[in-house]
Structure 1
Amino acid sequence: MYQYNEFDKAFILSRAAQFRDQIERWQSGKLSEDEFRPLRLQNGWYVQRHAPMLRVAVPYGELSSAQLRVLARVAREYDEPEADVYRSALEAQRKLGTVRLPTHHAHFTTRTNVQFNWIPLSKAADVMELLATVNMHGIQTSGNCIRNISCDERAGVAPDEIADPRPFAEIMRQWTTLHPEFAFLPRKFKIAITGASEVRAATDWHDVGLRLLRNDAGELGFRITVGGGMGRTPVIGTVLREFLPWQHIMNYIEAVVRVYNQYGRRDNKYKARIKILVKAEGQRYIDEVEEEFRQIVEHDGGPHTIPQAELDRVSACFVPPQRPSTVARIEPEALTALDAAAIETPQLEHWLQRNVARHKDPSTRIVTLSFKRLLQAPGDASADQLDRVADLVDRFSAGEARVTHSQNIVLPWVHANELLPLWQAARDAGLASANVKLLTDMISCPGGDFCALANARSLPVAQAITERYQDLDELNDIGEIDLHISGCINSCGHHHSGHMGILGVDKDGKEWYQVTLGGSDGSNASGPAQPGKVIGPSFSAIEVPEVVEALLSAYLDLRAEIGGRRESFVETVRRAGLEPFKMAADRVRTPMEKLA
């Protein structure tokens, strides 16, 4: 992990102290609400449906065990609203039906940040100072700026990796933090980087998507896409450069953002994202970026060219942990015990198949801890769970964890000898769900239970589907499927990229849900990134689990064999088309008089 130096630490601590002063001036009336709003947003503080929400930055998804323990402490000591606020929230939810509104929880997002939903603003300064003790903050997790840069959660450890993207992400994080030209963009701006042949960071769905690759001469560089995004207008990024030498990546991003800053719309927030500019201007935008890049390099001397020495300096922070030579090799006895236990315990066998992945070090494995289970919202982690994860991370993963795009936690440094004791410890902690990439490993935003922008609740829908599909044999028979749920068109649950997407919509003040099929985040198993297609009118909340079941039944009837394996859900949708799935879903529709 990147090691903060004294300047980094002093900067985070001073920012926390500055925010305390801003809060005190706001509380005393020296700052108006309008004056305070941009200040709190610049530090990651929103005001949501019932209470403030804090978004904490987790650059490229990496967390230390010490940081996990501080996040647990924040959840335990501060994630609790004032009593009247909570009573009001519960009363509002009872009118819509019974729902669980957990406190003392953190929430992992699809862009690997961590959110808290109940911290009162009166305690905000205390929280920021506590986070600063472990080099954490909320800077640029909100506002019209370059946001937290995300990466593949297997960066640096994946066997299919061409180059580790984390050093570049860290250099760009330092460069973009409080950069005056990037602080007041027309709209928010998101960057994702991957260094592997398998796309696990949804790069084509970002404002800027970067993929490390090597050209025919073996030189390292980036493939650059610009203008991807979800929301009201789902757009796949446009390729601006098939190959750019790595040294110039920041010069090029500066050109991309300068042109966006100059021509992006500021009169309409729904048309202010860079995807709208790229789509509207097409080749003209590309030409403007290329000319700006030429001016930056030739006229200005390429001021943001990355020197080899700087890349080496930062890369030195991202080296494999040192293990004693006595545990560096795989012990046959350990693997024999693991195999025997897997034969005796089907849950372990499923876990090894679904949650354990190959590592570039043959003696090491990448292990995913799934938080997706009954009575727990996707992405949520209690204070106790965070503490238990921190213990597992210390014991089995050299003190390092990763937040995943799919709202789970990865342990990137698990020795093959320790898989059995890790599974046993994770099982005892309730963190051994063997459902990675299966239906119940769904992505969901917090939805209308928390978010003021949402049209409908996401969590009850996720819970109902999870309750219906608890049989691991059935889930494995269905196979890998990305189910994504969003409570509104802003698509924080990434419904556009789901093989099956569910979108909450408002109809006359009631919650309804639109279903899409065939979307992809761009991973190899899903095919090129593309938005799903709507399969007809929306469904009521009570119909959604039945619709999911009908769609899966249609898939099981239609799927074919390909090269000795069974088609995945998304492959069948693309081969058979939407019509048979539309027909299956339509048979679920409840007559309107029964829904009234």
Structure 2
Amino acid sequence: MYLYNETDQRLVDDRVVQFRDQMTRFLDGRLSEDDFRPLRLQNGLYVQRHAPMLRVAIPYGTLASHQLRKLADIARRFDRGYGHFTTRSNIQFNWVRLEDTPDILAELATVQMHAIQTSGNCIRNITTDQFAGVAADELFDPRPYCEIVRQWSTLAPEFLFLPRKFKIAISGGAEDRAAVRFHDIGASARVADDGRIGFEIFVGGGLGRTPMVGKTIKDFLPREELLNYFEAILRVYNRYGRRDNKYKARIKILVKDLSLEGFAKEVEDEWAWSRGGPASIAEQTFRDMEAFFARADHAPADADDPAYRQALHDSRAFARWVERNVAPHRANGYAIVTLSLKKTGAPPGDAIAEQMDGVADLAERFSAGEIRVSHEQNLVLPHVARKDLPALWEGARALGLATPNIGLLTDLVCCPGGDFCSLANARSIPVAAAIQQRFDDLDYQFDLGPLELNMSGCVNACGHHHIGHIGILGVDKNNEEWYQVTIGGREGARAALGKVIGPSFAAGQIPDVIQRLVEVYLAARHEGEIFIDAVERIGLEPFKARVYGGAA
């Protein structure tokens, strides 16, 4: 993984000193709330419903074991003993004290972490596939490109005060696991017929109040032009993006207003001035950056370890976990393991300090000390020898992180909602808990097969409800909490936004609504057909009729 050089470390250390001074001046009244707000936001500090919240950056979702231990330490010392992993692969501490945040940032700096640009109208954390660098279907590793973009975008003066927040995702696999079509800019790996490496570029995607699927603006962009082209897009956005109305300030609105063709022409005109210029990425830069992410060849491992096969035979629970939580690795004899943060009874995405410490231990024993955070709010160990899977499973079970539900109904994505967020219209966590309890039968979940459920407490869509096969949105109805349901969303190459099935529901009705949606699917599905494919085939009407009419 990438390691800070002296300049990187000095930048982060200086930022801590600067913010400590800003906090001191705010607390003693020399800095007004209006003046302090943009300063705290660009250091990841929000004022939430009950307490300040600090959002810590996890660049492209990659952590070293000592960094995860530091997060556990911060959770114990400065919070209430846990952290919340988000859909942008960051971690949030929801109960920090305002006056403690400079100390927290200083602690983070000791392990090359920070909260810079985790909020505000700037370029946010660069995200990617949680399986980057190890996926069996990968065209090339996207992490070096993520790091190049991260360095370019961090504290870049031109892009610190954009019309609105800005999100970039880069994917390297044949399968898009980074939801690139739902970002302001998305880049998906491509290899030309002549072997050149580059990206298909998507622009204008996003969720929130006005969800849109990003559109292809460049079929193939040579990799050396990545920063030049990104700069061209951002300059057009900075010039023409609306600043008079925050609800119409995202780049997706500008692309819609100008049309894709009109926006693309503006970008091409801007790019003409910079193409081949100083921001072009040199081959040596690629080699240097790739060296940071290269690791020694995996130790030889048998692809068909007898002890592993015996464990599969002897334990149905272990076999189920392997089926749902273990993914193919590009190296023979290795696997990628997802640790579920979705055990019934625990808020989705939350990890207590003891679990973080335990995962750090498992990573050092089994995964070269490396952990990933997925945008589905789970943790990933990317370098596990298959022969070690039984021992890792036992360790994960002891931590409560071995629920075999990845990609199933109870692996639901959920924002903190009204229990914490001052923007939320409704609570998310109690509804998520009710759904998990209703569908806690693993036999039933395995029979249902892949079914993604996403929930947000408000239209800001931090829970990505628009792209869930089933989506739930908290809404305000006469000062009461209600929930709107959508179906048909999906990410990947066939990206689609879910459609509202009808009037909203009270919280207590939601498990029954999910049950009825599932019953329609079970009655209509073809052999091997997953929920989202059945929705696309039969349409919304049968689901609406069952939910609102109460009859099959």
Shorter-chain TM-score category? over 0.9
Which residue is equivalent to 2:264?
286
| Aligned mates of 1:71, 1:123 — CA distance in 2 | 15
Report the 3-state secondary structure (helix = DSSP H, G, I; strand = E; otherwise coil) of the residue aligned with 2:418. Answer: helix
- Tell me, what secondary structure is at the counterpart of 2:293? coil
The alignment status of 1:547 with 2:513, answered yes or no, reads yes
TM-superposed deviation, 1:11: 1.3
The equivalent residue for 1:238 is 215
For residue 492 of structure 2, what is the aligned residue in structure 1?
522
- Indicate which of 559, 566, 575 corresponds to 2:537: 575
In 1, the alpha carbon distance for the partners of 2:44 and 2:296 equals 32
- The secondary structure found in structure 2 opposite 1:448 is coil
Measured in 2, the distance between the counterparts of 1:504 and 1:132 equals 37
2:9 maps to what in 1? 9
- Could you say which residue in structure 2 is the equivalent of 1:249? 226
State the alpha-carbon separation in 2 of the partners of residues 415 and 336 from structure 1.
13
Q: Give the structure-2-normalised TM-score.
A: 0.98
Q: Tell me the secondary structure at the aligned position of residue 388 of structure 1.
A: helix
Change (3 A) 1:428 1:26: same
The residue number in structure 2 matching 1:67 is 67
C-alpha distance after superposition, 1:429-450 (max 9, x if no partner): 2111111000011100101100
Aligned to 1:495: 465
**Cα deviation 1:165-212 (Å, max 9, x = unaligned):** 100110110011110110000000000000110000000000000011
Which of these residues, 296, 299, 302, is aligned with residue 330 of structure 1?
A: 302
Counterpart amino acid of residue 72 in structure 1: A
The residue type paired with residue 482 of structure 1 is: E
2: CA distance between counterparts of 1:389 and 1:184? 37
- Secondary structure in 2 matching 1:254: helix
Q: Does the aligned pair in 2 maintain the 1:546–1:588 contact within 8 Å?
A: no
- 1:262-300 per-residue CA deviation (whole Å, 9 max, x = no partner) reads 000000000000000001101211100000001122xxx
Whether the 8 Å contact between 2:303 and 2:332 is mirrored in structure 1 is no
SS in 1 for 2:427: coil
Q: How many residues align?
A: 550
Contact 1:225 1:238 in 2 (8 A): yes
| Alpha-carbon displacement from aligned partner over 1:539-592 (angstroms, at most 9, x marks no partner) | 11110000000100111011012xxxx210001111111111001111459xxx
Distance 1:57 1:377 in 2: 21
Find the counterpart in structure 1 of residue 338 from structure 2: 368
Q: Distance in 2 between matches of 1:489 and 1:73?
A: 33
Within a 5 Å distance, the mapping from 1:271-310 to structure 2 comes to 271-282=248-259, 283-297=261-275, 302-310=277-285
Aligned to 1:95: none
Task: Give the TM-score of the pair, scaled to structure 1.
Answer: 0.91
Distance 1:331 1:197, change over 3 A: closer
Q: Distance in 2 between matches of 1:117 and 1:405?
A: 19
1:559 aligns with 2:525: yes
- Preserved CA contact (<8 Å) 1:255 1:293: yes
**1:559 to 1:367, Cα distance in 2 relative to 1, 3 A:** same
- Aligned equivalents of 1:365, 1:106: Cα separation in 2: 27
Q: What is the deviation of 1:321?
A: 4.0
Letter matched to residue 538 of structure 1: S
Residue by residue, what CA displacement relative to the aligned partner does 1:486-545 show, whole Å, maximum 9, x if unpaired?
A: 00011100000010000010000101111001001125xxxx111001101001111000
Report the alpha carbon displacement of residue 336 of structure 1 after superposing the two structures with TM.
2.2
- 1:218 maps to 195
Counterparts of residues 3-152 of structure 1 (less than 5 Å): 3-79=3-79, 103-152=80-129
- In the alignment, the residues of structure 2 paired with residue 546 and residue 361 of structure 1 have an alpha-carbon distance, to the nearest angstrom, of 44
Distance 1:424 1:237 in 2: 42
Q: 1:331 to 1:207 in 2, by over 3 A?
A: closer
Gaps of 5+ in 1: 80-102, 590-596
In the alignment, the residues of structure 2 paired with residue 448 and residue 251 of structure 1 have an alpha-carbon distance, to the nearest angstrom, of: 41
- Which letter maps to 1:570? I
Task: Indicate the SS of the match to 1:119.
Answer: coil
> How far does residue 34 in structure 1 lie from its aligned partner after superposition?
1.1
- Aligned-pair distance for 1:478? 0.4
Specify the code of the residue in structure 1 equivalent to 2:55: R
Q: How far apart, CA to CA, are the structure 1 residues paired with 2:524 and 2:311?
A: 36
Q: Deviations over 1:405-433 (max 9, x none)?
A: 10000100101111111111111121111
1:458, distance to aligned residue in structure 2 (A): 0.7
Preserved contact between residue 321 and residue 398 of structure 1 (Cα < 8 Å)? no
Asked if 1 retains the 8 angstrom alpha-carbon contact of 2:303 and 2:334, the reply is no
Residue 503 to residue 331, structure 1, CA distance change in 2 (3 Å) = closer
Runs of 4+ in structure 1 deviating by more than 6 angstroms, as ranges, are none
2:164 aligned with 1:187, yes or no?
A: yes
Give 1:399 deviation, angstroms.
0.5
Question: C-alpha separation between the residues in 1 aligned to 2:131 and 2:198?
Answer: 19
Selected match of 1:538 from 495, 501, 504 = 504
Q: Which moved more, 1:416-425 or 1:248-257?
A: 416-425
Pick from 265, 273, 292 the counterpart of residue 242 of structure 2. Answer: 265
How has the CA–CA distance of structure 1 residues 399 and 513 changed in structure 2, closer, same or farther, with 3 Å as cutoff? same
| Structure 2 residue runs without a partner (length 5+) | none
- Would the aligned equivalents of 2:303 and 2:333 in 1 still touch at CA under 8 Å? no
Shift, 1:21, TM fit:
1.1
Partner of 1:449: 419
Aligned residues of 2:308 and 2:386 also touching (Cα < 8 A): no
CA contact under 8 A between 1:16 and 1:128: conserved in structure 2?
yes
Contact 1:543 1:588 in 2 (8 A): no
Tell me what 1:100 maps to.
none
Instruction: Give the partner amino acid of 1:330.
Output: D
CA distance in 1, matches of 2:102, 2:303: 50
Residue type of the alignment partner of 1:432: A
Equivalent-residue separation in structure 2 for 1:158 and 1:118 (angstroms): 36
Q: Which residue in 2 is equivalent to 1:593?
A: none
Whole-Å separation in 2 of the counterparts to 1:137 and 1:170: 15
Counterpart-to-counterpart distance in 2, 1:55 and 1:263: 29
Corresponding residue for 1:90? none
Change (3 A) 1:498 1:104: same
Question: What is the rounded CA distance, in whole Å, between the counterparts of 1:18 and 1:266 in structure 2?
Answer: 28
Shift of 1:343: 2.6
Matched residue of 1:292: which SS? helix
Which residue is equivalent to 2:455? 485
| 1:322–1:142 distance in 2 versus 1, CA, 3 Å | same
